[in-house]
A and B are shown apart, each in its own frame.
Chain A
Amino acid sequence: MSDLLFFTEVTLAGLGAGALLSLTALAFVLIYKATRVINLAVGEIVMLGAYLFFAFAAGLGLPAWVAIVLSIAGGGLVGAILERGLIRPMLGENPISVFMVTIGIGSVVVGLVELLWGTEPRALPAFLGNQPIFLGEAYVSRKIAIAFLVSAVVIAGFVLLFRFWRGGVALRATASDQAAAYSCGINVPGVFSVAWIIGCATAAGAGILLGSIGGISPAMGVFGLSALVVVIVGGLDSIAGALIGGLLIGVFEAWAGTYLGGEYKIVTTFGILIAMLMIRPYGLFGTTEIERL
């Protein structure tokens, strides 16, 4: 097999993984844009989504599509509960405190999942099929290709939603100035809830895809850290940033993992992060914050 072909395959796999990162990063961005909260529990919601699917599909034996719908709805429900119960009381607090609350949430979710399903890794019931796909000559795993397509469709959907749907406009207005949005009659708390619901539902959906590729375990929430790097690189409040950042990190991780060795994946990711923070602290597309005396 030619080196070039191999390189193409690695890159395609990276793009597939990157699409999943983008999707998870999107959950970060949605929530951050509306509420200015960095939700470090997104990774754990991803994990929870995968376990919900496992429970519905393997535990209750429901058809895959029903299990998917239920898990995504479950993610949204969790988002609603978290926002209403834990995040809203923190409104106006120092953003770092809120960030730490989300760390606490992550820990509680991990604990609950371990309590219910144990700590050992499991496989999700296969529903994506295994037949490889060939792009020209290049081999692509079917699961990764599907993950890529689904992520692309969902992200495109969000972009359209943001542009044209009234709620999307309200969300953007809230993002640019909460007080002004309030005075324009926008239901800001409502926007907060919706952002958390959609964000967590998206994360849960990403979890199903991620779990069907690599299996599930209570530790799979660390995926959230890679997605966090993506949003920092792309810009915390930028959907385009999440998309491009995700693909970039996905491809770089794939290259590093293949050509340098698996253990280089994480260093590459975090190396990119540090470089980004030093060169362009607010990311490729993020809004720079101005300080005044």
Chain B
Amino acid sequence: MSAPVSLKPHRGAATQAEAARKGAPSGAAASLEVEGVSLSFGGVKALRDVSFSVAPGSITALIGPNGAGKTSMFNCISGFYKPQQGTIRYNGEDITRMHPPHRARIGFARTFQNIALFRGMTVLDNIKLGRHAHLKTNILDAFAYWGRAAREEMELRRDVEERIIDFLEINHIRNMPVAALSYGLQKRVELARALAMHPRILLLDEPVAGMNREETEDMARFILDVKEEWGTTILMVEHDMGMVMDISDHVVVLNFGEVIASGLPHEVQGNAQVAEAYLGAGEPAAIKEKIHKRASVA
């Protein structure tokens, strides 16, 4: 991958060894294969025979015009929608019918296009919640908050503080209610919550939508760091072509529920069908401009 020219140098980025010491899952990056997935809502065919795969430890971008079916694909992968046809495999295991919470336990984490933070909780609690599936406290422990429960909560707090809050630079907001945060910060907290899940595969639905330039660059840097330091496999939906071209290893293009192209970023960029899909869907011509401009930068 080419060096992301527009990104700031890492501030205080941990080394591989340091990451391992902090207990981040190392090695064992997960792979994901989507095979012939079809999904329809009544008459609307949201996905038609979609196939693609996500290589372990890579950043794969899923792009396409509005309504192409990207979020629906994510929902199939995280188990909220059940596709009518096709299989989804995680490290070779068929998980198409697996219950969503179980997926979280085996290493899936995601963020949502329309921020889905829990508004009644502080930032810290939202992040802690992400760890839920990996904790063991039972109801009796919880009532007593003694021994195991207290110990587990302390470990969790340390993990969240040192591995996530410091990393994402959200120390100053940890005790704020999420509703009080700016949009960009809310997106960052969502990423934090997903990271707390110790994911082996991370699904990001439009991580930089609605962010300004600086926030976008911060987010891109965090995503790259997650991939590089923790070896997490990342699948990302994003409309910001600049960011997609900069950080992804592989791009899959959806249009009207079908995969119309896939390949390396620069291959997809040159694809006439892709440009047409965006223009045909009434996206401003500026997108095409942008694709070409980024191409010349890269």
Contact = CB atoms under 8 A, between A and B. Distances in A.
Interface of A: 293
B132 to A, nearest CB: 18
Nearest to A291: B80
A202 B175 CA distance: 52
A80 to B, nearest CB: 35
Contacts of B66: none
B112 interface: yes
A208 B116 CA distance: 50
Contacts of A293: 71, 75, 80, 112, 114, 116
6 contacts: A293-B71, A293-B75, A293-B80, A293-B112, A293-B114, A293-B116
Interface in B74-110: 75, 80
Q: Classify the secondary structure of B's interface with A.
A: loop
A293 B71 CA distance: 9
A293 B75 CA distance: 8
A290 B143 CA distance: 36
A293 B237 CA distance: 15
Contacts of B112: 293
A293 B80 CA distance: 8
Contacts of B75: 293
A293 B116 CA distance: 8
A293 B206 CA distance: 14
What are the 4 closest A-B residue pairs judged by CB atoms, nearest first?
A293-B80, A293-B75, A293-B112, A293-B116
A293 B111 CA distance: 11
A68 B80 CA distance: 55
Nearest to B113: A293
Interface in B209-247: none
Contacts of B116: 293
Contacts of B114: 293
A278 B71 CA distance: 30
B279 to A, nearest CB: 28
A293 B81 CA distance: 10
B224 to A, nearest CB: 26
B43 to A, nearest CB: 14
Contacts of B71: 293
Nearest to B81: A293
Nearest to A290: B41
Contacts of B80: 293
A199 to B, nearest CB: 33
A293 B114 CA distance: 8
B264 to A, nearest CB: 30
Nearest to B41: A290
A289 to B, nearest CB: 15
A93 to B, nearest CB: 15
A5 to B, nearest CB: 50
A293 B190 CA distance: 14
A293 B112 CA distance: 8
Nearest to B71: A293
B125 to A, nearest CB: 21
A293 B74 CA distance: 11
A293 B73 CA distance: 12
Nearest to B78: A293
Nearest to B114: A293
A293 B113 CA distance: 9
A290 to B, nearest CB: 9
B103 to A, nearest CB: 14
A96 to B, nearest CB: 15
A272 to B, nearest CB: 30
B80 to A, nearest CB: 6
Interface in B124-167: none
A42 B116 CA distance: 36
A120 B71 CA distance: 62
B62 to A, nearest CB: 16
A106 to B, nearest CB: 29
Nearest to B110: A293
A291 to B, nearest CB: 9
A94 to B, nearest CB: 12
B69 to A, nearest CB: 14
B207 to A, nearest CB: 16
A293 B79 CA distance: 11
B67 to A, nearest CB: 13
A250 to B, nearest CB: 36
A13 to B, nearest CB: 44
Interface in B5-56: none
